[in-house]
Each structure stands twice: as C-alpha cells, then as structure tokens.
Amino acid sequence: MKIFINHEFIESDKKAISIEDRGLLLGDGIFTTLQSVNLHLKYFAQHIERLHRHAALIDLKIPLSESEIKAYCEELLRQNQLENETALIRITVTRGKSERGINISKNIAPTIFIKCTKLAHSTVHPKLCFTSVIRNEYSAITRIKSLNYLEPILARKEAQDRGFDDGIMLNTHGAICECSTANIFFVTSNYEVLTPHLSEGVLDGIIRANVISSCKALNIPILQRSIKPEDIYDCIEAFQTNCAIGIQSIKSIEDMEFHYIKDSVTQLIQDYCKI
C-alpha cells in the first residue's frame, strides 16, 4: 500500500513520520476523512474548507493548495488501484518536527500525509449506550477534528465492554453531544429532526451539515438544540452520520428501541442526500 507524505509517494511500511513529529508526540495536528467513489472525491471542497478553518484555530499552516491536495489524493488512489472503488481518504496535517517541549518554533515545517483504504459498507444498525466519557463543550479541542482522539477511543471501548456497538458522550451539562466518531440525530413523533447544537461541544461534521440543509430543502423541521438523555424516549427514529458510514440508522440506545417504517424520515433524508 502506498501513502503520500510531503510531496512523495512511498510504501506504507517504510519509515515516514519522524519520531520527533509533534503530531506523534503531542497530538499537535488535525485531519479529515473523506470518501471517494470511482475517483469522485465526495464533498471535497467542504472538507478542505473545514481543514483550513480548523488549522487557523490552532495557527497551523496547510502546506499544499486545494488543487494540489486533490491531485495527490487522486494519484494515490490510482497507485493503490482504488480509482474504481469506494475508498476512504484520510488527510492529516501535523505541526511537524521540532525539538523537545511544547514551545512552537517559528521555523517549523508542517507535515502532511495522505492514506487511502478500500471501504466496506456496513449494514449494521448499531446499538448504542451512554458512556461516562464527558465532552467539555468549552474546550478548543472539541471544535476541531484534531489528533487528540483519546476521549472517543475510551467511549467506544466502554460501550463495547458493556456489549454495545458504540457509545454516546454527554457534555458537562449532561446533554447529548455525539457518538465516538459520528454526529447524532433524532426524529420526534411530530416528525421533527433534532440534533445537538455545535455549542454543545459537537464537531461540525460534513455529513451533519448536509443533513441539515437537506431537511430545510425537504421542509422537514430541523432543530439544533440541547438534548438530554430522557428526551430520546419521545423520539421514533435516530441516526448517526459521518463520511464513512454516511447516514446510518440506530437500532437502540440503552433500553430505547427505534422502529423503522417505509418512507421513514431517515430514509427520505438519505435518499435526498444520495449517501
């Protein structure tokens, strides 16, 4: 398998990242993951816009232009014989290699690397639970797709240790935030779609944004607000979103099961988004 790093395509088993890279040692970096279908990079412009926006929040420079990143992604897919497949592409940018300590040198050069893998779509409707992992909605880290992923890792581990597929993190006020790697939505008995507001400590997911705009286009009421765990018992559907799973129906949360019928709101949104 080939990867791209700093203008080079190399085999993935070769030495690539310096042991002094701040992304490795300190989690000092950001990333985005997008889907490619037959060499079409889905929502590419939105991913790159968010990558730049998140980079600006931590004063990190993206060392390549949008057109360069796109060209390298496409070439990487070709070199891995994935140009006619559905694949995931991860673009990672770190602060780069520096001396020991947390001070940021003015002369440091960012590291950018890209990897791709074939995507196997899952037909599983996951069973979720609430976890003890708390998202701090006031933290700068919750606003960016950073390399600091220990909270989601612990949330999923806790859920799986309890026999569930994945876990939901609450924020410091006990409101629903997001799943370990996905945004979450609910459909009420009045056919309103609910999702936590970004101010609740939610990552601004690319598919999340497209679901919101799709609801508006379909004249489906969409509310971004605080959602407490007890609120789910007034809902008839739930789904989670990210660029790997698209829009995925949730089977249950704790003891609350969701039952789907033909022409469900979830399916209408999914068909409209063509995800």
Work out the pLDDT band at 275, boundaries 50, 70, 90.
low
Percent of the chain whose pLDDT exceeds 90: 79
Torsion angle of C-alpha atoms 201, 207, 211, 217, degrees rounded to 10: 130
Instruction: Specify the pLDDT at position 17.
Output: 84
Do 151 and 267 have their domain in common? Answer: yes
- Among 87, 118, 149, the domain boundary falls at 118
Q: What is the 3-state secondary structure (H, E, C) of the chain?
A: CEEEECCEEEECCCCCCCCCEHHHHHCCEEEEEEEEECCEECCHHHHHHHHHHHHHHCCCCCCCCHHHHHHHHHHHHHHCCCCCCEEEEEEEEECCECCCCCCCCCCCCCEEEEEEEECCCCCCCCEEEEEEEEECCCCHHHHCCECCCHHHHHHHHHHHHCCCCEEEEEECCCCEEEECCCEEEEEECCCCEEECCHHHCCCCCHHHHHHHHHHHHCCCCEEECCCCHHHHHHEEEEEEEECCCEEEECCEECCEECCCCCCCHHHHHHHHHCC
Percent of the chain whose pLDDT exceeds 70: 98
Do 63 and 170 have their domain in common? Answer: no
Do 208 and 141 have their domain in common? Answer: yes
CATH code at 144?
A: 3.20.10.10
Work out the pLDDT band at 261, boundaries 50, 70, 90.
low
CATH code at 104?
A: 3.30.470.10
Instruction: Specify the pLDDT at position 262.
Output: 60
Do 74 and 109 have their domain in common? Answer: yes
Residue 263 pLDDT greater than 70, yes or no: no
Do 192 and 72 have their domain in common? Answer: no
Span 194-239, pLDDT tens digits: 999 999 999 999 999 999 999 999 999 999 999 999 999 999 999 9
Cα 182 to chain centroid, rounded: 6
Do 113 and 131 have their domain in common? Answer: no
- Among 90, 118, 146, the domain boundary falls at 118
Span 123-154, pLDDT tens digits: 678 999 999 999 999 998 898 999 999 999 99
Work out the pLDDT band at 105, boundaries 50, 70, 90.
confident
Residue 171 pLDDT greater than 80, yes or no: yes
Residue 106 pLDDT greater than 90, yes or no: no
Do 108 and 154 have their domain in common? Answer: no
Residue 11 pLDDT greater than 90, yes or no: no
Do 140 and 81 have their domain in common? Answer: no
Structural domain span for residue 104:
2-118
Looking at the structure of the chain, the number of domains it has is 2
Do 46 and 134 have their domain in common? Answer: no
Do 73 and 188 have their domain in common? Answer: no
Do 137 and 269 have their domain in common? Answer: yes
Instruction: Specify the pLDDT at position 98.
Output: 85
Mean per-residue pLDDT over the chain, rounded: 93
Span 42-99, pLDDT tens digits: 999 999 999 999 999 999 999 999 999 999 999 999 999 999 999 999 999 999 988 8
- Among 69, 99, 118, the domain boundary falls at 118
Do 134 and 243 have their domain in common? Answer: yes
Answer for the pair 236, 258: CB distance below 8 angstroms, yes or no.
yes
